[in-house]
Structure 1
Amino acid sequence: MDVLLSLPIVSYFFSTSLTSWSTSLNLLFFYMTWTTLVLSHSPLKIELVGTTALRIVLWLVPSLLFLAFDTLLPSLSGNIKQNGSSALPPRDAYSLVSLTGLALFNLALETAVEAAASLGLSTLLGGPIFRTSTTLPLPWQMIKHLALLFTAREILTYYIHRYLLHGHHPPSSLSPLSKRNNPPTKRKRNNPLPTTTLHTRYAHAHHTTTTPSSLLLKTDHPLPYLLHRFAPLYLPALALHFWSLHMLTFLVYVALATLEETLSMSGYRVVPGILMGGMARRTAVHYASGGRGNFGGWGVLDWVHGTGVGGRHVVDDLRDETGKHRVKERGKGKVGEAVGG
Structure 2
Amino acid sequence: MDVLLSIPLISAVLTPSLSTSVNILFFYATWSALVLSHKPEAIHATSLLVLRVIFWLAPSLLFLAFDFGIPSVAGSIKFDGAKRLPRRPLKLIGLATFNMLLVVAVEAGVSWLYTLATGNTLYKVSTTLPLPWQMFKQTAILFTAREMLTYYIHRYLLHEGALVPLLTRLHTSYSHGEPVCALQLYADHPLPLVIYHLVPVLLPAFLLHPHLLTYLAFTLLTTIEGTLVTSGYSIVPGIFLGGIARRTARHYASRGTANYGAWGILDWAHGTSKGKDVMDDAQDEADKHNLKERSSAKLNDGAGMVQDGVDTLRRSTRKRTPKKN
TM-score above 0.5: yes
Matched, 1:225 2:193: yes
Aligned positions of 1:105-184 closer than 5 A: 105-167=98-160
Could you tell me which residue of structure 2 aligns to residue 300 of structure 1?
265
Q: Deviation per CA, 1:227-248, whole angstroms, max 9, x where unpaired? A: 111221222112212xxx1010
Say whether the 8 Å CA contact 2:172–2:255 is kept in structure 1.
no
Letter in 2 for 1:14: L
Q: Cα RMSD (Å) of the superposition?
A: 2.1
Matched, 1:315 2:279: yes
SS at match of 1:87: coil
Could you tell me which residue of structure 2 aligns to residue 207 of structure 1?
177
Say whether the 8 Å CA contact 1:263–1:280 is kept in structure 2.
yes
Could you tell me which residue of structure 1 aligns to residue 3 of structure 2?
3
Using the size of structure 2 for normalisation, the TM-score is 0.87
Say whether the 8 Å CA contact 1:103–1:215 is kept in structure 2.
yes
* Deviation, structure 1 residue 215: 0.5
Over the matched positions of the two proteins, sequence identity in percent amounts to: 54
Q: Following the alignment from structure 1 to structure 2, what is the Cα–Cα distance between the partners of residues 283 and 268? A: 11
SS at match of 2:78: coil
Q: 1:240 to 1:315 in 2, by over 3 A?
A: same
Say whether the 8 Å CA contact 2:232–2:249 is kept in structure 1.
yes
Aligned positions of 1:48-59 closer than 5 A: 48-59=45-56
Aligned positions of 1:1-341 closer than 5 A: 1-17=1-17, 22-90=19-87, 95-167=88-160, 193-203=165-175, 206-207=176-177, 211-241=179-209, 245-309=210-274, 311-326=275-290
Q: Deviation per CA, 1:134-192, whole angstroms, max 9, x where unpaired? A: 11000000000000001001111000000000016xxxxxxxxxxxxxxxxxxxxx696
Say whether the 8 Å CA contact 2:250–2:259 is kept in structure 1.
yes
Aligned residues: 298
Letter in 1 for 2:32: T
Runs of 4+ in 1 over 2 A off after TM superposition: 83-90, 326-330
SS at match of 2:276: coil
SS at match of 1:88: coil
Q: Following the alignment from structure 2 to structure 1, what is the Cα–Cα distance between the partners of residues 38 and 8? A: 13
* Deviation, structure 1 residue 324: 1.1
Q: 1:291 to 1:115 in 2, by over 3 A?
A: same
Using the size of structure 1 for normalisation, the TM-score is 0.83
Q: Following the alignment from structure 2 to structure 1, what is the Cα–Cα distance between the partners of residues 151 and 12? A: 33
Q: Deviation per CA, 1:64-122, whole angstroms, max 9, x where unpaired? A: 000000010101111111132233333xxxx1111111112111211221122111111
Q: Deviation per CA, 1:199-254, whole angstroms, max 9, x where unpaired? A: 11222xx235xx5112121111111101111221222112212xxx1010010011
Could you tell me which residue of structure 2 aligns to residue 172 of structure 1?
none
Say whether the 8 Å CA contact 1:70–1:89 is kept in structure 2.
no
Q: Following the alignment from structure 1 to structure 2, what is the Cα–Cα distance between the partners of residues 318 and 162? A: 24
Q: Following the alignment from structure 1 to structure 2, what is the Cα–Cα distance between the partners of residues 55 and 236? A: 20
Say whether the 8 Å CA contact 1:217–1:261 is kept in structure 2.
yes
Q: Deviation per CA, 1:295-330, whole angstroms, max 9, x where unpaired? A: 001111001111111x21000000111111226985
Say whether the 8 Å CA contact 2:67–2:82 is kept in structure 1.
no
Q: 1:23 to 1:76 in 2, by over 3 A?
A: same
Letter in 2 for 1:15: T
* Deviation, structure 1 residue 12: 1.1
Letter in 2 for 1:5: L
